[in-house]
Structures are given as structure tokens and as C-alpha cells.
Amino acid sequence: MTQRVEILGTGFDAVDLESAVRRISAMMTEPGPHLVVTANVEMVMLARRAPDVREILARASLVVADGVGVVWGSRQLGRPLPARVPGIDLAERLCREAAGRGWRLYLLGGAAGVAEAASARLRARYPGLLITGCAGGYFGPGEDRRVVEAVRRASPDLLFAGLGFPRQERWLAGRLDALGVPVVMGVGGTLDVWAGRARRAPRLWQTLGLEWSYRLLREPRRIRRQLAIPQFMGVIYLERARAAVPRLRRS
């Protein structure tokens, strides 16, 4: 396990995109199963009030900083994380790795047909990529066993679940052993982007760390979720002020 940096109660692995891929490659040969979480500010804030989410993050094999907010927070607290690792970038990079190394991939999530469309596009983009199964993400508790069984039968090495946050993390963590997949990871709306049903922010917005605002413009209903961002900033400033007090007193 790499060194974890604690941000408001959530431990983040100090990795960049490439070292995250190396860690995940190692997991393929280590005893598993492994849950990889790409955690953003919303997840950090949820973990503060939801003990089960806190537990999921604490037990995850790898937690990467998904977004500019977490990296900003880490710098404010004087324990800088090396880089943000956007979930979609990590997922794409893992597809390339999977194609090269022969890992079998399973796509779960999205409306009817999304996982299949994503699969077709990915196979065109990464020749040799082995996708052993696809399934939609709108199923009720009654269908849970069937979904887990379908994944087991396909015996993938890597499972991407795009069931939305935080359902996907709860779903994966609760079925980690039953699924029997070496590495599982929540990918949010990534399958929609791969399927061509949603678009990522233009490159410049991504580089400037403004991808969240682009999503907000396209999906204004996200405003309630994104209220976590100013709340996170407020708590970070408080934490920084608190941490600074003893230092000032000592001097």
C-alpha cells in the first residue's frame, strides 16, 4: 500500500495516473479482490456523515483524488497530493493496459444499451481489448443476484461499474467477495461518454481544472450535489486555521 494522505477524514493514496496504473497492475497478481475508488470532494463530504462510506474508503485498496478540489485541499493542509487522477482518465488508461496485457473487462452500468455501445467503441479504440460482458445499471434489489451471477460467469479481471455515486461504491463494496473479480472500480458517467451519449469538457477546461463546472452547466440538477464544494472549502479553511493555532502559540 502506498502512503495515504488524510484529507478531512478520508485517506488518499499519494499517486499520479501512472503510479495508480502500476498499483492496479500489481493488484492483478496479489490476493484480492480489490476495490479502487476515485473519490472527489462530494465523496469526502459524504464520508464525514455516512459511516458506511467512511468504512468503504478506509478498506479500499486504492483511493485516488478524482478532481481538482481534493488536490487543492491537500495543498491547503500542507500535505500535497502529487496530482489529480480523474476517474475517466484512469479508466481509459486501464483499457489501454487491459488491451496490452490481456485483462478481461466487464462493463456494468447506464441506461439500456449504454454498456454495449461503450464496449463497441472501446474495442474499436483499443484493438485486442477483451470485453467479456456488459449489463445495464438500472436493476432493483430483486435482480441483484442475477447481475452478480452474470459477472461471475464472465470471470473478468477488471469490472467497471457506472451506477452513479455513491451507489456504485456501496454496491461494489457489498459484493466484493461474491463478484470474485480481482479489481473493481466505480466509473460514474464514464460509460455514457464512451457510448457517445455524453461529452467531456473541452480539453482547456480539463487542464484548468474546470471540468466540474462544465458538467454543472450541462446538468444543472447537479447543483445540489456540488454544494459539497463550498462546504468542503469552508471546512478546509477551518482545519487549516486550527492547525495553525498551536504553531503560532509555540513560537
Helix %, strand %, coil % of the chain (to 5) = 55, 15, 30
Check residue 111 for interaction with ligand UDP (CB under 6 A). Answer: yes
Check residue 211 for interaction with ligand UDP (CB under 6 A). Answer: no
Residue with the three cell numbers 457510448: 195
Residue 105 CA, chain-centre distance (Å), reads: 16
Find the residue with minimal CB distance to ligand UDP: 137
C-beta separation of 86 from 65 below 8 A = no
* Residue among 69 and 137 whose Cβ is closer to ligand UDP: 137
Check residue 188 for interaction with ligand UDP (CB under 6 A). Answer: yes
* Residue among 28 and 120 whose Cβ is closer to ligand UDP: 120
Per CB under 6 A, the list member of 72, 192, 228, 236 interacting with ligand UDP is: 192
Check residue 189 for interaction with ligand UDP (CB under 6 A). Answer: yes
Amino acid at 216: L
* Residue among 22 and 167 whose Cβ is closer to ligand UDP: 167
Check residue 137 for interaction with ligand UDP (CB under 6 A). Answer: yes
Rounded Cα distance between 117 and 121, Å, is 6
Check residue 67 for interaction with ligand UDP (CB under 6 A). Answer: no
Check residue 217 for interaction with ligand UDP (CB under 6 A). Answer: no
Q: Give the dihedral sign, CA 201/48/53/37.
A: positive
CB-based contacts of 218: which residues, under 8 Å, 6+ apart? Answer: 198, 199
* Residue among 1 and 223 whose Cβ is closer to ligand UDP: 223
Rounded Cα distance between 153 and 180, Å, is 10
- How many Cβ atoms from other residues are within 10 Å of residue 227's Cβ? 12
Residue with the three cell numbers 462493463: 107
Stretch touching ligand UDP by CB under 6 A, among 5-13, 98-106, 161-169, 239-247: 161-169
| Shortest Cβ 167–ligand UDP spacing (Å) | 6
Q: Which three cell numbers stand for residue 178?
A: 461474491
| Site residues (vs ligand UDP, CB under 6 A) | 109-111, 137-138, 162-165, 167, 188-189, 191-192
